[in-house]
Structure 1
Amino acid sequence: MSYVLGIDGGGSKTVCILMDDLRQVLGRGEAGPSNYQSIGREATFQSIQSAIQNAFEAAIITNTDKIDAICLGLAGVGRAADIELVKDLVKELQNSKLPIVWALQPANIVICNDALIALVGGIGQPVGIVVAVGTGSIVFGQNHQGYTKRVGGWGYILGDEGSAYKIAIAGMNAALKSYDGREILTSLIEAFQQHLDLESIEDLIEVVYRREWGVKQIAALAPIVDLAAASGDEVANNIIDDAVKELVKATSTVIDAIFSSDSALEVVTIGSVWRGRCKIHDRFTASICKKFPEVKVIFPRYEPAYGAALLALQTIQN
């Protein structure tokens, strides 16, 4: 029996899956964030080590002390320098106090970005497209030949179209334009005032600028726009429609780049934005399937860490 580890390392948490060669999940562990671009190398190592330790402590059997392969899908990993740093982290893990007998060969160590493991976990295989839309947004695809295409993922200043952050910004912008008289009347004015306990919509200035709100705090306001759209607000619905158009355009770009237009493929949608009440998922699905009738839009079958474990398993089964 062979055993592998799949690591999903993001900006909020790290998840480790312990899997055998029959695809059975034996243990799962969580720890803190592991995006080294934002928290540094040492904190990243500690989170990964803790997630592995927790997965073994939660394992349903006790003889899984030999690891034949590992895949680390980490946020912020894309350049050659990033990969070398993570390779050093794997060496450090092998020399740590973890209760593991390592049997790793270079070919059995997979280091990739978190979009790939989200694709593999979401669909259950490494072919298709993932449309990840939460605080930020990215579309990533891989075809049967192994060719990949990424669209977006450029961050809140340079990109992230369709994301919670951009929806929230558009909502606040529309509310202020409506207050000025530059936009038609919208319920977003009252909605933001009530949610943030403001005496006037003008107090958004104090909230956004003087409180030094970051990306996550602003993105958390996206549900206000979502609820207004679900209630029939025209301005809010226009914002959601614009988000859908951007996501359809990004997905279409990936399809055109690495798939044929009549390919039967799955598109997995992950992230908080898709769970909105304004049926943004239905709008996206109707639009992309009208353009590409052979496309099937799905919610994730498995979590990204499961996808990482599958990629690790692939290295010892090929």
Structure 2
Amino acid sequence: MGATEGAWVLGVDGGASSTRAAVADLEGRVLARAAAGPSNHVRGEAGRLRLRKALEGAVGGALAHLVSEGAGSRLECLQAVTLGMTGVNPGTPEAGRVVEELLPLLPSRALEAGLRARIEVVSDARTALEGATEGEPGILVYAGTGSVAMGRNAGGAIARAGGWGYLVDDQGGGYTIGRHALRAVFRAADGRGPETRLTSLLLEHFQVEDLDELVRVVYTNDGLDRPAVARLARLVARAAQEGDEAALAIYRHAAGELAGLAAAVARRLEMAAPAVYHSGGVFAAGRPVLEPFERAVRTALAGSRVWPARNSPLVGALLMAYRQLGHPITPDLASRLRAQLDAPGSA
């Protein structure tokens, strides 16, 4: 069987909140999909165990679905795999660990037929860029739990800014927004900042009566973990939509930081007035973050326009897997994948 006849591809989007996998054929029909928990930070035994569980749930789950649907005899059709993983770059020891954990899950017949040579591990920013632009020149700013920007110019060169992790960077991401929400509440209590709706929202969220109880919750068991802090961004969105000044200020600061990532990529790639795309849960807050983001982008990159990403990182991973096979990426192909994987309610 040739690489372009009856082939299947597997895409994986592995992040700090969840891991999604999908198998599709060359016509863009999604044959199976599954989701599991986070697969970020693969260093150390705990990280490796988290990665293993995530891949077993997502990749193993998708392949098990194919078997349950009677397609077990066709698993050798799987001819290319692309994984976009948070905190992982090609050619690194972390990428090697991802492949080691993935191999036992893949069909032996497909591996014997040459699949191992077409397993590609890249950063989740790379698959997000592919999904956002469908391979065209442009810059993607992604703000989920963390934040990163990546772009490609007309010559095919790629550059990144941000994405250095929550301890040193990730400005404009959900974790930082959540931290700023907590800070705003305690500063308001001291009189160092304005009164804010965030106080009542956080007390309600954590089901506590006062700030003394809240601070105990925050620091119990060495403190709230990253996903728990990042989830507080939803409360900031709610307060901002109600006109709370402290919440709006948090989003103005985040928007400026995120626009700065786009400008840094544009400088590195020598791009004038690039198309700038945005993706990730932070932008789901809508106007409180989008309006200042668009203003900041136009100020930093005169002539640029801002758009939502065309597709999710999972669609981007599938598009990159198609490219490994030399299969042409058309708007219709991307549209079919998007309709199945990115529509509201998709797994």
Please list the CA deviations of residues 94-150 of structure 1 after superposition, one character each: whole Å capped at 9, or x if unmatched: 5xxx37533336653322111111111233226422222122211222223332222
Who is 2:251 aligned against?
240
- SS of 2:43 mapped into structure 1: helix
Q: CA offsets per residue over residues 66-116 of structure 1, 9 Å max, x none?
A: 22222122222126222333344455445xxx3753333665332211111
> Contact 2:140 / 2:309 at 8 angstroms: preserved in 1?
no
Letter aligned with residue 75 of structure 1: T
Q: What secondary structure does 2:98 align onto?
A: helix
Question: How does 1:300-315 map onto structure 2 within 5 Å?
Answer: 300-315=309-324
The CA distance in 2 between the partners of 1:23 and 1:225, in whole Å, is 38
Q: Which residue number in structure 2 is paired with residue 204 of structure 1?
A: 214
Gaps of 5+ in 1: none
**TM-aligned CA deviation for residue 292 of structure 1:** 3.1
* Number of positions where the alignment pairs a residue of Structure 1 with one of Structure 2: 313
Q: Is the 8 A contact 1:129 1:268 kept in 2?
A: yes
Q: Residue 265 of structure 2 aligns with which residue?
A: 254
Aligned CA RMSD, in angstroms, stands at 2.8
Query: Could you tell which deviates more after superposition, 293-302 or 211-220?
Result: 293-302
Of residues 2, 20, 24 in structure 2, which corresponds to 1:15?
20
Match in the other structure for 1:55: 62
Pair 1:284 & 2:296 matched = no
CA distance in 1, matches of 2:198, 2:99: 48
Shift of 1:181: 1.9
Hey, what does 2:127 align to over in structure 1?
117
SS state at 1:155 partner = coil
Residue 5 of structure 1 is matched in structure 2 by 10
**Closer, same or farther in 2 for the Cα pair 1:289/1:169, shift >3 Å?**
same
- Equivalent residue for 2:203, pick from 183, 189, 193: 193
Q: Does 1:227 align with 2:238?
A: yes
Check 1:178–1:123 CA distance in 2 against 1; reply closer, same or farther (3 A cut): same
Separation (CA, whole Å) in 2 of partners of 1:57 and 1:224: 38
Q: Give the match's secondary structure for 2:142.
A: strand
TM-score, length basis structure 2: 0.78
Match of 1:137 among 121, 127, 147: 147
Task: Specify the alignment match of 1:37 in structure 2.
Answer: 43
Cα distance 1:281–1:86, how it changes in 2: closer, same or farther (>3 A)? same
Task: Rate the CA distance shift 1:168–1:16 in 2: closer, same or farther, 3 A.
Answer: closer
Secondary structure, aligned partner of 2:154? coil
- Counterpart contact for 2:153–2:271, Cα < 8 Å: no
Of 90, 93, 99, the match for 1:81: 93
**Contact 1:244–1:283 (Cα < 8 Å) also in 2:** yes
Counterpart-to-counterpart distance in 2, 1:295 and 1:127: 13
The counterpart of 2:177, out of the listed 167, 172, 177, is 167
Name the structure 2 match of 1:274.
Answer: 283
1:183 maps to which of 182, 190, 193: 193
Give me the whole-angstrom Cα distance separating, in 1, the residues matched to 2:29 and 2:301: 35
* 2:114 alignment partner, SS class: coil
How far did 1:24 drift? 3.6
Partner residue in 1 for 2:337: none
- The verdict on how the C-alpha distance between 1:316 and 1:204 changes in structure 2, with shifts beyond 3 A counting, is same
Normalised TM-score (structure 1): 0.85
What secondary structure sits across from 2:251 in the alignment?
Answer: helix
Q: Evaluate the alpha carbon distance shift between residue 25 and residue 128 of structure 1 in structure 2; reply closer, same or farther with a 3 A threshold.
A: farther
- Map Cα deviations across residues 228-249 of structure 1 (whole Å, 9 max, x no partner): 2222222222121111111111
Q: CA deviation at 1:151?
A: 1.6
Q: 304-313 vs 279-288, which deviates more?
A: 279-288
Structure 2: give runs of 5+ residues left out of the alignment: 328-347
Q: Does the aligned pair in 1 maintain the 2:15–2:39 contact within 8 Å?
A: yes
What percent of counterpart residues are identical?
A: 30
| Corresponding residue to 2:167 among 117, 134, 157 | 157
**Would the alpha carbon gap of residues 288 and 42 (structure 1) be closer, same or farther in structure 2, given more than 3 Å must change?**
same
CA shift digits 1:158-184 (9 cap, x unpaired): 111112221222222222222212223
2:113 pairs with 1:108: no
Shift of residue 190, structure 1, vs aligned partner: 3.3
